[in-house]
Amino acid sequence: MAQLDAILAHIDSELEGSLERLFQLLRIKSISADSAYADDCRAAARWCADTLSAMGIEAAVRDTIGLPMVVGHYRGAGESAPHVLFYGHYDVQPVDPLELWTRDPFDPAIVEVDGEKRILARGAADDKGQLMTFFEAARAWLNVEGRLPVNLTVLLEGEEESSSPSMVPFLTENADELKADVALVCDTNMWDRRTPAVATMLRGLVYDEVIVEAASHDLHSGLYGSAARNPIHVLADILSGLHDSDGRITIPGFYDGVAEPTAEQRALWQALDFDSAAFLGDVGLSIPAGEAGYSVLEHIWARPTAEVNGVVGGYAGEGAKTVIPAEASAKVSFRLVGEQDPDRVRDGFRNFVKDRLPGDCRVRFIDHGGDRAISQPSDGPWIRTAQQALSDEWGCEAALIGMGGSIPIVTQFKHMLGMDSLLIGFGHADDRVHSPNEKYNLDSYHRGTRSWARVLAALGA
Amino acid sequence: MAQLDAILAHIDSELEGSLERLFQLLRIKSISADSAYADDCRAAARWCADTLSAMGIEAAVRDTIGLPMVVGHYRGAGESAPHVLFYGHYDVQPVDPLELWTRDPFDPAIVEVDGEKRILARGAADDKGQLMTFFEAARAWLNVEGRLPVNLTVLLEGEEESSSPSMVPFLTENADELKADVALVCDTNMWDRRTPAVATMLRGLVYDEVIVEAASHDLHSGLYGSAARNPIHVLADILSGLHDSDGRITIPGFYDGVAEPTAEQRALWQALDFDSAAFLGDVGLSIPAGEAGYSVLEHIWARPTAEVNGVVGGYAGEGAKTVIPAEASAKVSFRLVGEQDPDRVRDGFRNFVKDRLPGDCRVRFIDHGGDRAISQPSDGPWIRTAQQALSDEWGCEAALIGMGGSIPIVTQFKHMLGMDSLLIGFGHADDRVHSPNEKYNLDSYHRGTRSWARVLAALGA
């Protein structure tokens, strides 16, 4: 442990230099969604590759059909050491509306708010601050020990904020080069200000669009009203029927593959003392809307959903128009858990719709994709190891948490490279990622760097 | 009858001159919706006023806040004769898309199609052709007899195709001048090619907009899915609940004031031999969607409706967005019949919504207006008189029909001037009003003129 103590002490004493390197990266306007910033994005990729290479992790900027990837390799830990892949992204969200920022989003600074020191800049949390916690942990290892305890591949993309169009082709072409024992993915949050977390469950997703058609063209509701089938009514009946009065989804077979939380999981989640009143209260709500018999945490981590994300039909302008539309449509998504099969869920939904379609109506569907849930046993070796390292740093047991959404890269690593991910990050819910005045707590940055140094040590032990 | 025979013979022999006058009016590009044609609209008003005055019906162009009215008066029938108000409009719809017209829409001509002679031009049916049948009937009376059998007020507007913004103020300011014993309104259709019709029933309307709100802002469906109330689900449940499985509207008290069709009405409608299969088949449908136990004709003439005319919530763009929207809204209209009270129907709907609103949701409504149904007893004296005159001209009993929609001017005459309307017109469903290649059958024009000459005679007898 003397070795690790020296590394942690180095991180503490080098904090100022570490922040200066972070600020260099934050000053680069790498907005991937706006092609006017393509050169800035390339500059950010170059900066990352140069920084890694200078540390001893040989890295290169790699062209794609879009913005480049950065790939680095370190093989100095020897054959018997584990091989981990670290993933992050160097691009950031646009900064509009600029007038809501309290300072230039690309002129980072540390500001003190409510007794907390915060790094204020676009990308401070998402994802430059988070990825630099890993870079700086690796730098401390290399500076103090002259080596890393694990073999390492680094993969950084520049299109994470633009739907990652180049990622699947790049993973396909470079699967052998990128495959490792486990991936480290850094853009997640802590459980709370004091409690670090490893995310072990991500819900899957099926997204489908349904278009119900009736008459051959829009009709006048005076001339045809009540005689002609109204597709909005048909759609409302179908959507209304998706849940029963207990909030349970009524599609036959929908719950196949959904397991009840185990007693151990329930006990762990209970212990997290989740403030569901605050969670809902923050968005103006007070009554959990999901299935009866489950807690809010279970609703968003461990239960599947059917949510209508959009509905449109007929006249949507101002005022009144007496139309019976020829069609009405809805976008419907399902969050999946456990072993639910996306194809079977989609088929089940489509059959549910067809079974409820009155005569004279036709239905079309548009497939917007789907992915299985990710669920890793909480007693898996990587997770236990990382959890212990985080607990050591923060002085309390790291939480094993679920996430209601999905992270595409985690699914891609799982299904394209057969690789599990360790999801560890030090963000907070109030970091305002994607919004004006994005921030990353200085404590997250400093102790996040220390945390990664410990995780690397534990993985390599 | 010798007198009437001479007038009808005059109409027959003067048909060519009558058509030339109609064509003069059709050549004026009086498109009210496009301010580039404001001068043309004024020219059409001037033409109508001059034409009436030259016939002996003293008429003037009267300014409004928008396009002018034309008002004419004839008082030569004596104190004991009835006083009728004739209503029509001199404005026409835009002609786009121009490339779909087989000839210049403002260069009228008679073309022969399927053995029928048709007047082809914008406004041929709606409403210049129809209003000229009345002008020419009055002209024939004045030419042959030197007088009209009734006292007459003529009211022509120039904004009928643009929502008539000036009508209510004009009626308010000139109520005493315009009030007559009965109004003649000419923009309706015959029952079929051989059977004339008087419309005696128009459905009323209540139009309301409902906005259901839940969270304070749009939420990510991964993070909040199933825990947070989705207003699209709430709205779908409410809209789905508006009808029971028999198509009956479930709002408490909704059917107050709705009478079942009488045995006599049912027998009359049965005799019309309505082709409901063709009516639905023309718009791609085959199965009547309305209340069980009623015919299609009853659905559209004699039964009230609840129709969702528009619905919108969440993401409506291409592709997928995983949002739980903060609000969802629908535009809902109710066609009213009999003595249904618009205010009570609106209140009933709003209470129905509020009763079904889960906790955490709020609801707002936007009132888009409402009007009672118009229903005139089929044995009223004006209707019987007009029906007989039409039957005499066409050689078969004129139908007494309902109309599923409303005609605002009829409601305004009823409620602002206390005046019933006789709805008589000679259009056909295939006249393509508002569309390219609008037409009016020459037979409609010629025998329509003869019909009005007979109706005037009968009203004045």
Beta carbons within 10 angstroms of residue A291's beta carbon: 18
Give the H/E segment covering residue A235: helix A231-240
Residue pair B68/B158 in contact by the 8 Å Cβ criterion: yes
The letter for the amino acid at A105 is P
Which residues of chain A lie closer than 8 angstroms to B291, CB-CB? 226
Pick the CATH number of A2-202+374-460 from 3.40.50.720, 3.30.300.30, 3.40.50.150, 3.40.630.10: 3.40.630.10
Question: Kindly report the CA angle at B140 between B137 and B141, in degrees rounded to 5?
Answer: 90
Instruction: Spell out the long-range contacts of A53-60 with Cβ–Cβ below 8 A and sequence spacing 24 or more.
Output: A55/A135, A55/A138, A55/A139, A55/A142, A56/A142, A57/A138, A57/A152, A57/A154, A59/A154
Cα of B408 to nearest chain A Cα, Å? 13
Cα separation of the two ends of chain A = 11
Within B201-301, residue ranges assigned H as helices are 221-224, 231-240, 263-271, 276-281, 296-301
Report strand pairing: B69-74 vs B151-157. antiparallel
- What was the ipTM of the complex prediction? 0.88
Band (pLDDT 50/70/90 cuts) for residue B360 is very high
Q: What percent of chain B has pLDDT over 90?
A: 90
Q: State how beta strands A327-336 and A305-314 pair.
A: antiparallel
CB contact under 8 A, A323 and B335: no
Residue A181, min C-alpha distance to chain B (Å): 28
Domain positions in chain A are: 2-202+374-460, 204-258+304-371
Q: What is the pLDDT along chain A (461 residues), one digit of tens a residue?
A: 569 999 999 999 999 999 999 999 999 999 999 999 999 999 999 999 999 999 999 999 999 999 999 999 999 999 999 999 999 999 999 998 899 999 999 999 999 999 999 999 999 999 999 999 999 999 999 999 999 999 999 999 999 998 899 999 999 999 999 999 999 999 899 999 999 999 999 999 999 999 999 999 999 998 899 899 999 999 999 999 999 999 999 999 999 999 999 998 899 899 999 999 999 999 999 999 999 999 999 999 999 999 999 999 999 888 888 899 999 999 999 999 999 999 999 999 999 999 999 999 999 999 998 899 998 888 888 999 999 999 999 999 999 999 988 888 999 999 999 999 999 999 998 999 989 999 999 999 999 999 999 999 999 98
Let me know: does B424 contact B451? Beta carbons within 8 Å.
yes
Torsion over CA: A403, A409, A415, A418 (sign)? negative
> A208 near A335, Cβ under 8 Å?
no
Nearest by Cα to A383 from A271, A274, A301, A459: A459
Task: Name A362's bridge partners.
Answer: A213
By CB atoms closer than 10 A (0-12, 13-18, 19+), residue A147 is: middle
Closest residue by Cα to residue B153 from B115, B132, B130, B184: B184
Residue B331 predicted with pLDDT over 60? yes
Q: Do B239 and A217 touch (CB under 8 A)?
A: no
B64, exposed or middle or buried, with CB in 10 Å at 0-12, 13-18, 19+?
Answer: middle
Q: Quick check: B187 pLDDT over 90?
A: no
Cβ-Cβ contacts under 8 Å, B405 against chain A: 220, 222-223, 322
Q: CA-based Rg of chain A, rounded to a whole angstrom?
A: 25
How many Cα atoms are found within 13 Å in the side-chain-facing hemisphere of B455? 36
Kindly report the CATH class assigned to B2-202+375-460.
alpha beta
Query: Are B320 and A203 a contacting pair at CB < 8 A?
Result: no
B226, B243, B283 ranked by CB distance to A305: nearest: B226
CB count in 10 Å sphere of residue B270: 11
Contact flag A300-B225 (C-beta cutoff 8 Å) = yes
Instruction: Check: CB of residue B131 under 8 Å from CB of residue B44.
Output: no
Amino acid at B323: V
What's the CATH number for A204-258+304-371?
3.30.70.360
Question: What would the pLDDT profile of B103-158 be if each residue is shown by its tens digit?
Answer: 999 999 999 999 999 999 999 999 999 999 999 999 999 999 999 999 999 999 99
